[in-house]
Structure 1
Amino acid sequence: MTKLSVNINKLATLRNSRGGNVPDLITSAQDIEAFGAEGITIHPRPDERHIRYQDAKDLKKIVTTEFNIEGNPVPKFIDLVLEVKPTQVTLVPDAEDAITSNAGWDTQKHKDFLVDVIKTFKENGIRTSIFVDPDVEMVKGAAKTGTDRIELYTESFAHQFAEGHKEKSIAPFAEAAKMAHQLGLGINAGHDLNLDNIKFFKEHIPHLLEVSIGHALICESIYLGLENVINMYLHRLK
């Protein structure tokens, strides 16, 4: 079964928009786990416009499933991850002013940098994952960095799927996943996955270990209720 990790950045955005502590991220994370999710994901950015660095430290104390911290491995981020020691760190090459992640790593161009960063995290017992586009060459490059997993950046899949091009949308991802498995890499996925497309994606990506879903899941929960949405995802992933 593919694990569902819920990204709670949007809850932090909602909290920060009014100040105070509503919604409470600690209570929300505990509820999400109680409803059946198998992981909590956060993506703190340098300006802390949604998840704050202190949130990472507070969540570490209460998350009982897998704790995944995403981000660009700038020095401040590296220090945070080494202090918190989550289950997994997902390296994402987003600019400081990026609204959301919009590209995977060039694992060939940045190989030496990634090798050094990943070595540091793995020496501290933290599983590593690299955010990559569905490109076989980038997957091959990832395998040379020492990472444990890749996370396939699924925006292009979601866009083409929504336009009705199902087979075209999934083809490069299936090819990239096949290569990753051959090279001994674990496979995660995330970005714009939702209730409409997740079942199709899961059915066509063998060895999919984990999906990280935030924006769509939180938006769907506004309409359907968080517990219902968690269980709807779990049903589709089985």
Structure 2
Amino acid sequence: MAALLGVNIDHVATLRQARGTTYPDPVKAALICEQAGAEGITLHLREDRRHIQDDDVRRMRPVLKTRMNLEIAVTDEMVAFATEIKPHHVCFVPEKRQEVTTEGGLDVVGHFADVKAATQTLTAIGCDVSLFIDPDFAQIDAAIACGAPTIELHTGAYADAESGAEQQAELERIVKGAEYAAAQGLVVNAGHGLNLDNVAAIAAIPQIHELNIGHSIIAESVFVGLAQAVKDMKAAIQAAA
């Protein structure tokens, strides 16, 4: 069975914030993505509010027909916001102010108590909590100990690999991580840096439930339109299954 596609619409908001305008509206983009076949919508409310704003999340939550996957940092402010919004899914991600995009997986081992507390708080109100982690067995074990039912494996090192050998090594890490996590009963998602050229090998991993892809789809939409960009990515995922 093919992996599901969650479309990250952060960079629609990036385009809006570049000029401080009211357009393009990420809520409108999310609805177009759903109509084009996306099985979920992902958005990252960063602490610095560099793209998605609180109001975007509030407006989007009641109108989505699929599922909202809200990415947030493990902070009291963000956990309180998620408690208010009650998205279907919450994915805890690491955050650094100076980074251009998320640079690696969440260190669940190093921040275990905080991650576990945040996971339990949101699980208690009915959110499906996932942890965005590197394909590392120690991090996967820590995610299980936190009580998170889902993980999202960070595919950035695979996507950014500068040689075929390096990419193959990173792919093998992801495959082994997915197999290990699924064997422990976790739902396994994946994402970061995926595009039409590199998605097939990840989509072909049987244990992968959903792929979260944003930047490359929004970039491709400049040339083919947003709906077609979503359809093209879905077709690539389905062809790889």
- Equivalent residue number for residue 229 of structure 1: 229
Structure-1-length-normalised TM-score: 0.94
Aligned identity (percent) is 33
The letter for the 2-side match of 1:233 is M
After superposition, the C-alpha distances for 1:51-103 in whole angstroms (9 at most, x for unaligned) are 00111111102111110000212121111111111110000121234321112
Provide TM-score, normalisation by structure 2.
0.93
Alignment of structure 1 residues 13-52 onto 2, 5 Å: 13-52=14-53
C-alpha distance in 1 between matches for 2:26 and 2:94: 25
SS in 1 for 2:182: helix
Read off the aligned partner of 1:104 and give its amino acid letter. G
2:6–2:210 contact (8 Å) kept in structure 1:
yes
Q: How does 1:120-159 map to 2 (within 5 A)?
A: 120-159=121-160
- Distance in 2 separating the partners of 1:35 and 1:98: 31
Following TM superposition, by how much is the alpha carbon of 1:36 offset from its aligned partner in structure 2, in angstroms? 0.8
The corresponding residue for 2:112 is 111
Distance in 2 separating the partners of 1:107 and 1:44: 20
User: Number of residues paired by the alignment?
Assistant: 236
8 Å Cα contact 2:74/2:114 also seen in 1: no
Give 1:223 deviation, angstroms.
Answer: 2.1
Q: Deviations over 1:95-120 (max 9, x none)?
A: 23432111212222222221111110
Of 98-107 and 53-62, more deviation after overlay is shown by 98-107
Structure 1: which amino acid aligns with 2:192?
A: H
2:172 aligns to what?
171
Kept in 2: contact 1:10–1:215 (CA 8 A): yes
Match in the other structure for 1:214 = 214
Residue identity in the other structure for 2:229: V
Taking a change above 3 Å as real, the CA distance of residues 167 and 47 of structure 1, as seen in their structure-2 partners, is closer
Provide Cα deviations, 1:171-223, integer angstroms capped at 9, x if missing partner.
000111111011111111111011111111111x2221111111111112212
> Is this contact kept in 2: 1:45–1:96, CA < 8 A?
no
- Tell me how far apart the structure 2 counterparts of residues 159 and 189 of structure 1 sit (CA, whole Å): 15
AA at the equivalent of 1:20: T
Partner of 2:11: 10
1:85-96 correspondence runs (5 A):
85-96=86-97
Runs of 4+ more than 4 Å apart: none
Q: In the superposition, relative to structure 1, how do residues 19 and 209 fare at CA in structure 2: closer, same or farther (>3 Å)?
A: same
For structure 2, the residue ranges without an aligned partner over 5 or more in a row are none
What secondary structure, in the 3-state scheme, does the structure 2 residue paired with 1:227 have? helix
Q: Any idea what SS the aligned residue of 2:146 has?
A: coil
**Coordinate RMSD, CA, aligned:** 1.4
Q: SS of 2:70's equivalent?
A: strand
